[in-house]
Amino acid sequence: MTFFPIETKRLILRKFTPADAEATAAYQGLPEVARYCMWEPRSLERVRELIPRWIAMDGTGENSEGIQYAVVLRTSGALIGDVVLMFEDLAARQGQIGYVMSPAFQGQGYATEAMEAVLAVGFGQVGLHRISARCDARNTGSWRVMEKLGMRREAHFREHAIFKGEWDQELVYAILEDEWRAAQGAN
């Protein structure tokens, strides 16, 4: 089974390649992009170190961590972000999604469009029962994407951890397979 590429109206979700390092570092290296991520701004060298792992995350194999996608514009082929479907517990059919978009392409519906395709893979091809997502409560753009995807807010953890030197507030969203299928039928 292959999960690559996925084409949407405006995007292609494909495997990363070593040639993607500079474009990825250009946005992942920005402090405003890394602000709510578990990592600090990434250098070109760090991205080059990570790309082999992302390439290996192809959803196949017994010990697969998940599926990592490079998000490119159909019209130009420009890399504008990356999205992931992590396999949290395949026996229990649980997954988690994440997304990082270049600031130049935020607020234009690209993250929502990409994640709609990833949910379809998770529920349709992988056979997951529940897919969740997490974000810092201050990351309004991120939780709005989750709500546009039909995910429900399940938790709001207040001051539960010190994150990058300050108390954070974490939101947890999720959607069940039957909820996703019902929404697909309505659309």
Query: Which pLDDT score, from 0 to 100, does residue 159 have?
Result: 87
Query: Which pLDDT score, from 0 to 100, does residue 10 have?
Result: 98
**Tokens encoding 10:** 């405006």
pTM, 2 dp: 0.94
Query: Which pLDDT score, from 0 to 100, does residue 145 have?
Result: 98
- In three-state form (DSSP H/G/I as H, E/B as E, the rest C), the secondary structure along 68-132 is EEEEEECCCCCEEEEEEEEEEECCCCEEEEEEEECHHHCCCCHHHHHHHHHHHHHHHHHCCCEEE
Local structure of residue 19 (DSSP, 8 states): G
**Tokens encoding 126:** 């992988």
- The architecture in CATH of the region 6-186 reads 3-Layer(aba) Sandwich (3.40)
**Tokens encoding 21:** 């390092």
Print pLDDT tens along the chain (187 aa): 789 999 999 999 999 999 999 999 999 999 999 999 999 999 999 999 999 999 999 999 878 899 999 999 999 999 999 999 999 999 999 999 999 999 999 999 999 999 999 999 999 999 999 999 999 999 999 999 999 999 999 999 998 888 777 888 999 999 999 999 999 887 6
